[in-house]
Amino acid sequence: MDGGPFRVPRPTDRRVASRPEPTHRQQAEEPRSVNETPKTVHQAATPRHAMREERSVRRFVLPIIIAVVLVILGVVGWFAWSKTQTVATAIDSSKYQAVFFTNGQVYFGKLQSFNNEYMKLTDIYYLQSQQSTEEAKDSKNPQQTSNDQGNVQLIKLGDEIHGPEDEMILSKDQVLFYENLKTDGKVAQSIEKYKKP
C-alpha cells in the first residue's frame, strides 16, 4: 500500500522504538492548593520590567511636574508682588505732588489713589502768571507764558469765581505723570507760606 507522496515510511530501527518515554510525561503533577498561582518565567520577568518602566516614567514626568509647579508659583508670586506695587505706593503721602495733565495743565496738592480708574487730589494749588498790561498788549499768543519767573503766582483752588471745592477726582487717562515734591522746593515752600496766617 502506497501512502502517497506525503506519507513517510516509519523507521524500522528498534532503538528508536524501544526508547523510553520522557520522564516528564510519566510523572504525575503534584496537587496544588487553590490559592497558589502557577509560577512561570514570564510572570517573574514582568514585575521587573514594569518597575523599570515605572522608574523611567518617574524620571521623565517628575522633573516636568516640578517645573510646572515652579512656573505656577512664579506667576502667582509675580501677580502678588505687582498688586502691592501700585500707584498708591509710589505716592509719598507726607509730601505734595505735582500732577501733569495731558492737556498741559499742572496742579499741586495731596494725591491719592481713588480706585482703579481715578485718583483724588486735595489741598490743590496751581500756578498763574501775572502779566502787566504792557506785556498783554505785546503778546500775540495768549497761551504764551512770560520768561520772567517773578511774575508767576501760586493760586489756591477754590478762590475762583465759580467757587469749586478743594478736591478733584482725576481720570488716570488724563494724567500724564506726577512727581513727589521736595519739602525745600519753591512750590512746597510757597504752599507752606500760604497756609500760615
Confidence of residue 71 (pLDDT cuts 50, 70, 90): very high
| Structural domain boundaries, residue 158 | 88-195
* Whether the model pTM is above 0.75: no
Residues 56 and 146 in one domain: no
pLDDT in tens, 140-152: 554 454 455 568 8
Residues 152 and 185 in one domain: yes
| Residues 6 or more apart whose Cβ sits within 8 Å of residue 167 | 120, 121, 122, 124
**150 is a domain residue:** yes
DSSP 8-state assignment for residue 150: G
| Residues 6 or more apart whose Cβ sits within 8 Å of residue 108 | 96, 97, 98, 99, 124, 125, 126, 127, 154, 181, 187, 191
How many independent structural domains does the chain possess?
A: 2
End-of-domain residue from the set 55, 85, 115: 85
| Residues 6 or more apart whose Cβ sits within 8 Å of residue 109 | 96, 97, 99, 121, 122, 123, 124, 125, 157, 168
